[in-house]
Structure 1
């Protein structure tokens, strides 16, 4: 088991690892829509929040020589389930290069997320192709 830490992407907001690698699978903790350079949390627009999360993931994957093509499972948590269409549209843009082979995915509507976020995502990534 290997505990991964990234220079890019948002820093953890609590006592947890950004990701843990077990065999060829990497389990990413929930990623919030935080702009790493400023610490700003994007909450006003679920599309922009979704985009920031996926940009954060791309940057962290790039650090370890991987891309979004390596994502096998996503879980989306949102306090704005009524705006799922916007989340889905943004998500699809990032994973369109994989169409029709998108990652497996679950979406869950929740009442609250850490720091007042409207969207949070976690990922399972395969480090081998």
Structure 2
């Protein structure tokens, strides 16, 4: 049985999807962009957006009693691969070894003209 996960500590979904879905021991967190959940506004700049994205993901994951140490797969979408180094540095500060598997790709456009978006799969039994 799939269970929708929601927290007020992360932005509400921008469309017909859940912040996350728990399916057994896996948590699938939907793509998060740099929206501050308190203001509903996008934060400015790639550094701030990256931090906000990861804080939003942490809030969703915390809602089920897990943390980023249980992440098994991240996907990162960048509006410009020129931002890879700074996003990678900030991302690394939120995670610890063993690091999860990851894909990073440049895309032509993200929702709300975001500079970065991330989604993650969490193994809650890890």
Give TM class, smaller chain. Answer: over 0.9
Give the aligned partner of residue 102 of structure 2: 105
How many residue pairs end up in the alignment? 125
Give the aligned partner of residue 18 of structure 2: 17
* Unaligned runs of at least 5 residues, structure 1: none
Scaled by the length of structure 2, what TM-score is found?
A: 0.94
Is 1:121 aligned with 2:111?
Answer: no
Give the aligned partner of residue 70 of structure 1: 70
Distance 2:61 2:24 in 1: 16
Distance 2:70 2:11 in 1: 20
- Structure 1 ranges of 4+ moved more than 6 A: none
Scaled by the length of structure 1, what TM-score is found?
A: 0.92
**Aligned-pair CA distance for 1:63:** 2.0
What is the root-mean-square deviation in Å for CA atoms of aligned residues?
A: 1.1
**Aligned-pair CA distance for 1:4:** 1.5
Give the aligned partner of residue 88 of structure 1: 88
**Aligned-pair CA distance for 1:12:** 0.5
